[in-house]
Structure 1
Amino acid sequence: MLTSLLNPLILLGANDSVAVAREDIPVHTLLQVGSRQLTSAQPIAAGHKIALQRIAAGEEVRKYGQIIGVATQAIAPGEHVHTHNMAMSSEGRAHEVGRHFQPVMPAARQATFKGYVRPGGRVGTRNYIGVISSVNCSATVCRYIADAFRGDALKAYPHVDGVVAITHGSGCGMGGTGEGLELLRRTLRGYADHPNFAGVLVIGLGCEVNQIAPLVEALAAREPGLFAAMTIQDEGGTRETVAQGVAVVQNMLALADQARRSTVPASFLTVGLQCGGSDGYSGISANPALGAAVDLVVQHGGTAILSETPEIYGAEHLLTARAASPEIADKLMKRMHWWENYTQLHGSDMNNNPSPGNKAGGITTILEKSLGAVAKGGSTGLMGVYEYAEPVQARGLVFMDTPGYDPVSATGQVAGGANLICFTTGRGSTYGCKPTPSLKLATNSQLFRRMTMDMDFNCGEIVDGRMEVAEAGRRLFDLMLATASGAPTRSEEHGLGDNEFLPWQLSAVM
């Protein structure tokens, strides 16, 4: 029996050879795409691709108006297009550096939010105390100190958001020089300097490779009483260090509680862009909506950090075309080549992606995933390229080289200065990121309804046809400003974010 569905397909480019199912499509369903009609030859799951035309074996498959792979066998109209009949395309992309770069026209009226103005003019969106371990050996002590301030312990300090232990699994058993140690120190310094921390206590063991003195010597000055450092060996042991650390933090709390929010321009907003648990709708709804919001952030003088280098692989030509200079484009390509060599060294390759969850959601190749991921960066010029955890100085859209693994990537962005994270997800992520608030953007309404207590914004209304991308971007920009002003995210309401600090480890364990 032949059935039909009303508007079941999403066509993203006029010359695309595939469309995306808006909902589950049974076999033998009559489908209308513009002036064309076709019948589904197999069941097509929501978010998955269906062939709109005959595609020969070896022929390129197009989505978003771009090549996402090649057919590994002949594909008939109406057939499901996925890993069983499509694979990665090895064809290189032409780089037209700067061709699509356009200067940004500033907003006529400057948007604002209420943030914490710190010494030196930096602005925080939260007001935490951080207890930071230099080495894994001091991690438990840092956690014990932070745990002492749970529950009603902060009742007398209503303007303090909490005490956070920033711990990790490294800091020793590594070379005393080189990229690995420098990367760890850069990450820890970025957190110790972060404007979302009113005060910071750094704790080491005493004999570790990552010694406290060189770690903290380059930190920006804080107000008296809002920075301290100690080692367990010098304090006389674990219990002594915990007791002394609790006393130090107790004194910091009184000072941190004096901070008050004030109105500041949106130019002080630095947003880290993340996507995780992507599905076939990520590049259709949440990522473009976030890109539209990013364009507004940039228009108002703010900064957005696009990252996850392995997940822009195959789409880097879209970024080099927007580069503000050849030097910026060249720096991006050097990081891409570094990743090609890095993955080969470990017996892998850059197409070792998408993840099983991505594939279950309808994403077939890294090209398809990357084209959707780049959409998070909006349409403005690429103003800089930074290494992992490097302090971001440029305004506008920038790129930071990070792994695709979300906790590692977001850790680098926060170390670089991100005071807000926006995280798109199609399968469902609950990621929290203290001291930086993390907004979760659902790609589809089913996910938003199923995990409504974890999702902050429903981009699925774009897929449902109830909202345009531009409107979603405007609403999301307003949500960014409200969150930066103190409105809690879902992950903050659940108390998530104490365990997600995860620096990128590059050095050999020795």
Structure 2
Amino acid sequence: MHPSAALLVLSPGDDVAVARGDIAPGQRLQADGIALIAEQAVPSGHKIALRKVAAGQRVLKYGQTIGQATQDIAPGEHVHVHNLAMPATSTEHSLTNVYQATVPSQVAATFEGFVRADGRVATRNFIGVIASVNCSATVCKQIAQAFTAERLKAFPNVDGVVAITHGSGCGMGAKGEGIDILKRTLRGYADHANFAAVLLIGLGCEVNQLTPLMEELRERPAALKASLVIQDAGGTRATVQRGIAQIDAMLPLVDACQRTTVAARHLCVGLQCGGSDGYSGITANPALGAAVDLLVRQGGTAVLSETPEIYGAEHLLTARAASADIAAQLMARIHWWEAYVRDNAGDMNNNPSPGNKAGGITTILEKSLGAVAKGGASGLMGVYRYAQPVDTQGLVFMDTPGYDPVSATGQVAGGANLLCFTTGRGSTYGCKPTPSLKIATNTRLFEHMALDMDFNAGGIVDGLESVSEAGARLFQLMLDTASGRRTCSEDNGLGDNEFLPWQMGAVM
């Protein structure tokens, strides 16, 4: 490898460069017109100082502050947790608005989807068995498990029967944010376009009563929506048998659904990153952002989330908010999180996980700057609370925790019919009823976990393709997946246990 190819400088004037591969002590390097000698070993994806940085000075990467030097840093030194920390600063959004309306694409993109009676479009054709409370979880699972691949062979258009279970629904207040979030999340799943039919099951005495939930669901044919209460049905085995009979009656109706050609504007894509590394903000996230911009030009929707993981980079979103009110809504959620963390004796900079740090990410500022790239350059058109139905086209933001299963659950409840999940360390997340694409940040990961990764963005850092080229390739994969191409997580049987609503409030 030529010395100049060993390092990546992401923005002119950055104080650090990123190692393309492992760097040995004493290795001669060159980047941004600067000649260096590595003072220590620098792992792949980690940072090396390009110039002298004094203790207390802010350190730039992406042309943005990622932290503050805790000691003097010499050129060629490894820059990480031992000499870089969060600066003492408060968040504020950009005072300069650079929002530009999206120019629609002149070439229409399409996919093959299931058009529902209300006009919404599904990317999968599942039947859902949904628990109102943890007490009905086993019954839901036993009903779903009865519908094996062998039993479903006669119904080729049915993607499966899925049990949606959770650990809540009782032992909580009958009013307040906790029960509101749970109801909103369950309602979002029960109404999801990817569920052609649903069977909801309760115990009978729980706080989260089944009847009010059923009354709030969207209209659909009576034969495709049913409920059972274990205490009324005669107990566990009687409920399981009745549930199986009800699903049997639904199967022919669901199997009658056929894919048809629809416009790409019917895609609602949840954007996730997990197991991030030092390449996430260089390859996979920008490539996903480029794909998002193509989707938005088609009239589609992308949902950026994980509020703790945009912390410190929120100014990049408020700067392109479609209105001052949208920018203020985003900042209100940021300030809520600051108070929430403070009240629970936490720290916003606690977010980068041990795996993130091993991969080269030092502070939440650095992680957030890379994470925001998933949203591309499109304008911010709306801000939603957790699991709220997303009814705006374009790039929107949903307030969720950074914990991937909780965040993705909220996005799917909001209507996401496809998930795009970037990872540098190797996440294997699946999320029925919505397919989840895994986007590897580096070629080593893509090859090492070949049966879990759907897309390799590592060609960007390898010098084989540009961000825009990778984005176009990813956008086509999104359309193919929406049309029925199976993801690795689907082939691996993932997605039955990942439903995890955000649990708030006291457990009593």
Shift of residue 224 of structure 1?
3.2
The superposition leaves residues 442-480 of structure 1 with CA deviations (integer Å, 9 ceiling, x where unpaired) of 000000010011000000000101010000000000000
Q: Which residue of 2 aligns with 1:390?
A: 388
Q: Which residue of 1 aligns with 2:300?
A: 302
Out of 151, 161, 164, the residue aligned to residue 162 of structure 2 is 164
Is residue 444 of structure 1 aligned with residue 442 of structure 2? yes
Shift of residue 217 of structure 1?
1.1
Shift of residue 97 of structure 1?
4.8
Shift of residue 148 of structure 1?
0.1
Q: Return closer, same or farther for 1:90/1:140 CA change in 2, 3 Å cut-off.
A: same
Q: Which residue of 2 aligns with 1:89?
A: 87
Shift of residue 146 of structure 1?
0.2
Q: Which residue of 2 aligns with 1:131?
A: 129
- The amino acid of 1:425's aligned partner reads T
Q: Which residue of 1 aligns with 2:144?
A: 146
Q: Alignment partner of 1:68: what SS?
A: strand
2: CA distance, partners of 1:216 / 1:65: 51
1: CA distance, partners of 2:376 / 2:348: 24
Shift of residue 5 of structure 1?
3.7
Q: Over aligned residue pairs, what C-alpha RMSD do you find?
A: 1.0
Residue pairs, 1:323-402, within 5 angstroms: 323-402=321-400
- The amino acid of 2:43's aligned partner reads A
Shift of residue 6 of structure 1?
5.2
Q: Alignment partner of 1:331: what SS?
A: helix
Out of 9, 15, 18, the residue aligned to residue 16 of structure 2 is 18
2: CA distance, partners of 1:134 / 1:42: 56
Residue pairs, 1:447-458, within 5 angstroms: 447-458=445-456
Q: Which residue of 2 aligns with 1:272?
A: 270
Q: Which residue of 1 aligns with 2:177?
A: 179
2: CA distance, partners of 1:353 / 1:183: 23
1: CA distance, partners of 2:95 / 2:318: 5
Q: Which residue of 1 aligns with 2:54?
A: 56
Shift of residue 268 of structure 1?
0.2
Shift of residue 215 of structure 1?
1.2
Q: Which residue of 1 aligns with 2:313?
A: 315
Contact 2:93 2:331 in 1 (8 A): no
1: CA distance, partners of 2:348 / 2:181: 22
Shift of residue 34 of structure 1?
3.2
Identity of aligned residues (%): 67
Contact 1:98 1:326 in 2 (8 A): no
Contact 1:4 1:30 in 2 (8 A): no
Contact 1:98 1:324 in 2 (8 A): no
2: CA distance, partners of 1:479 / 1:69: 36
2: CA distance, partners of 1:79 / 1:98: 36
1: CA distance, partners of 2:34 / 2:358: 28
The superposition leaves residues 206-250 of structure 1 with CA deviations (integer Å, 9 ceiling, x where unpaired) of 000000011121111112310001100000000000000000001
Q: Alignment partner of 1:467: what SS?
A: coil
Contact 2:93 2:327 in 1 (8 A): no
Q: Which residue of 2 aligns with 1:233?
A: 231
2: CA distance, partners of 1:97 / 1:422: 31
Q: Which residue of 1 aligns with 2:420?
A: 422
Q: Which stretches of structure 1, 4 residues or more, deviate above 4 A after TM superposition?
A: none
Shift of residue 179 of structure 1?
0.8
- The amino acid of 1:459's aligned partner reads A
2: CA distance, partners of 1:59 / 1:104: 38
Q: Which residue of 2 aligns with 1:193?
A: 191
- The amino acid of 1:46's aligned partner reads S
Q: Structure 2: 5+ residue runs without aligned partners?
A: none
Is residue 68 of structure 1 aligned with residue 66 of structure 2? yes
Shift of residue 490 of structure 1?
0.5
2: CA distance, partners of 1:151 / 1:485: 21
1: CA distance, partners of 2:419 / 2:113: 15
1: CA distance, partners of 2:399 / 2:33: 44
The superposition leaves residues 333-368 of structure 1 with CA deviations (integer Å, 9 ceiling, x where unpaired) of 111111111111111121112100000000000000
Shift of residue 98 of structure 1?
6.1
Q: Return closer, same or farther for 1:378/1:229 CA change in 2, 3 Å cut-off.
A: same
2: CA distance, partners of 1:132 / 1:338: 31
2: CA distance, partners of 1:144 / 1:246: 9
1: CA distance, partners of 2:343 / 2:305: 22
Is residue 104 of structure 1 aligned with residue 102 of structure 2? yes
2: CA distance, partners of 1:183 / 1:214: 15
Q: Return closer, same or farther for 1:22/1:214 CA change in 2, 3 Å cut-off.
A: same
Shift of residue 119 of structure 1?
1.5
Deviation larger for 220-229 or 90-99: 90-99
The number of aligned residues is: 508
2: CA distance, partners of 1:93 / 1:137: 42
Q: Which residue of 2 aligns with 1:463?
A: 461
Is residue 120 of structure 1 aligned with residue 118 of structure 2? yes
Out of 259, 262, 275, the residue aligned to residue 260 of structure 2 is 262
1: CA distance, partners of 2:433 / 2:2: 50
Out of 213, 216, 222, the residue aligned to residue 215 of structure 1 is 213
The superposition leaves residues 87-143 of structure 1 with CA deviations (integer Å, 9 ceiling, x where unpaired) of 001234553356110000000021110100001100000000000000000000000
TM-score, normalised on structure 1? 0.98
Q: Return closer, same or farther for 1:260/1:4 CA change in 2, 3 Å cut-off.
A: closer
Contact 1:272 1:414 in 2 (8 A): yes
The superposition leaves residues 470-505 of structure 1 with CA deviations (integer Å, 9 ceiling, x where unpaired) of 000000000000000000000011111000000000
The superposition leaves residues 394-422 of structure 1 with CA deviations (integer Å, 9 ceiling, x where unpaired) of 00000000000000000000000000000
The superposition leaves residues 132-182 of structure 1 with CA deviations (integer Å, 9 ceiling, x where unpaired) of 000000000000000000130101100000000000000000001111101
2: CA distance, partners of 1:289 / 1:4: 25
Contact 1:97 1:323 in 2 (8 A): no
Q: Which residue of 2 aligns with 1:47?
A: 45
